[in-house]
Amino acid sequence: MVADTHVYTQETCSKHYSCTSHVELSNGLNVEYARHGEANAPEKVLLIMGLHFEKESWLPIIATLLDDPTTYDPSRYELVSFDNRGVGGSDKPWELYSTSQMAQDALLLLDELKWPKAHIVGISMGGMISQELALLAPERVQSLTLMVTAPGFLRGPLPRLHQVAGYLHAGKNLLLPTRKSITNLLMFTLYPNDYLNQ
């Protein structure tokens, strides 16, 4: 197992994200992405990140898989992580974005990668995008893994007051992020106060 002290270092990030690529999708959007593993691997995995987080946020998973030979076979899987529109090295058009639009971006990225099918993994808003992608092109989705997500903002229960406060506090953490502030925000957002106070 890879230690968390190894995962969260500049050296580890540079190792896995030193070689990024850019592609102009057929809709005109320029997207930055990183490939992990071997290009000729038969299994393809597309990692879709959540709101305001860059592709490098997949580092704990990427480093755990790629740096621990007991958990990952690079000859079997190729992974791609990318920046959604409005984030990181991808274009930031001045317009409202939708998860449907971002699912279309992900589908066009699959086209550019020449992947007829892929395992789709989405977290948070990336999970919402992944669900839209599965509806848009089910024949392109080999499997669907959804983490910490929902079908959309207009369905299901409304967030509790402490969660809304956490979302508002996120603005400050996005401007001046530290590992501790991001962890605290995620804990506060994902778990109820009763659980955190135990």
Tens-place pLDDT, residues 109-143: 999 999 999 999 999 999 999 999 999 999 999 99
DSSP 164-191: HHHHHHHHHHHHS--HHHHHHHHHHHHS
Q: Are 26 and 60 in contact (CB under 8 A)?
A: no
* Average pLDDT value over all residues in the chain: 85
pLDDT at site 1: 47
Amino acid type, 108: L
Mean pLDDT of 164-179: 64
Where residue 68 falls among pLDDT bands split at 50, 70, 90?
confident
- d(C-alpha 159, C-alpha 163), whole Å: 6
Tokens (6 digits) for 186: 């995620």
pLDDT at site 70: 78
Tens-place pLDDT, residues 183-196: 766 666 666 777 77
- DSSP character for 74? T
Q: For residue 32, is pLDDT > 60? A: yes
pLDDT at site 154: 54
Share of the chain above pLDDT 70, in %: 77
Mean pLDDT of 63-73: 79
Q: For residue 2, is pLDDT > 60? A: no
Helix (H, G, I), strand (E, B) or coil at 103: helix
Q: Which residue has the higher pLDDT, 14 or 103?
A: 103
